[in-house]
């Protein structure tokens, strides 16, 4: 009479192989920093206080908002709160800092209008959906 061991052994081997094979991926994933955290750290290193860095990087998909903020701050015509407002929804493929700097140099003398032109679109997620 055959025991169930022969049937379970291939499954156990497969599970063990998957578990061992997945272990390095799990370790790598654990070492990756969330985009919001890397944005926040870069913003803090750039001189923003905790509250403003949190506002800038809330929901960030990369460190792009912090990069934008630092670039606009180097240019020097915006306050910190204006730079946060301009940069806080920046996606990796957007560059509102360059847009703003060009707009100020070539077209607009009014800071507010240049900010309105160059500020990234805000993407809203729906609330609770049934």
Residue 15 in any domain: the answer is no
Structurally, the chain folds into a number of domains equal to 1
Give pLDDT tens digits along the chain (130 positions): 444 444 444 544 444 444 444 444 444 444 588 999 999 999 999 999 999 999 999 999 999 999 999 999 998 889 999 999 999 999 999 999 999 999 999 987 888 999 999 999 876 555 554 4
Q: Which domain holds residue 90?
A: 35-118
- Please indicate, yes or no, if residue 110 is contained in any of the structural domains: yes
Tell me, yes or no, whether 13 lies in a domain: no
Within a domain: residue 6? no
Give backbone dihedrals phi and psi of 47, rounded to 5 degrees, phi first: 110, 0
* Residue 27 maps to a domain: no
On the CB side of 76, CA atoms within 13 Å amount to 0
Q: Are 45 and 68 in contact (CB under 8 A)?
A: no
pTM of the model: 0.69
Q: 64-75 vs 80-87: helix axis angle to the nearest 10?
A: 140
Domain assignment present for 16: no
């Amino acid at each position: 009479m055959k025991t169930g061991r022969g049937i379970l052994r291939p499954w156990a081997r497969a599970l063990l192989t998957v578990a061992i094979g997945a272990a390095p991926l799990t370790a790598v994933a654990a070492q990756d920093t969330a985009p919001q955290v890397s944005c926040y750290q870069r913003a803090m290193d750039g001189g923003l206080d905790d509250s403003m860095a949190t506002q800038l990087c809330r929901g960030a998909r990369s460190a792009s908002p912090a990069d934008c903020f630092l670039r606009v701050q180097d240019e020097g015509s915006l306050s910190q709160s204006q730079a946060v407002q301009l940069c806080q929804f920046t996606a990796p493929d957007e560059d509102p800092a360059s847009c703003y700097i060009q707009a100020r140099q070539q077209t607009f003398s009014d800071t507010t209008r240049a900010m309105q032109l160059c500020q990234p679109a805000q993407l809203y997620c729906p609330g609770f959906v049934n």
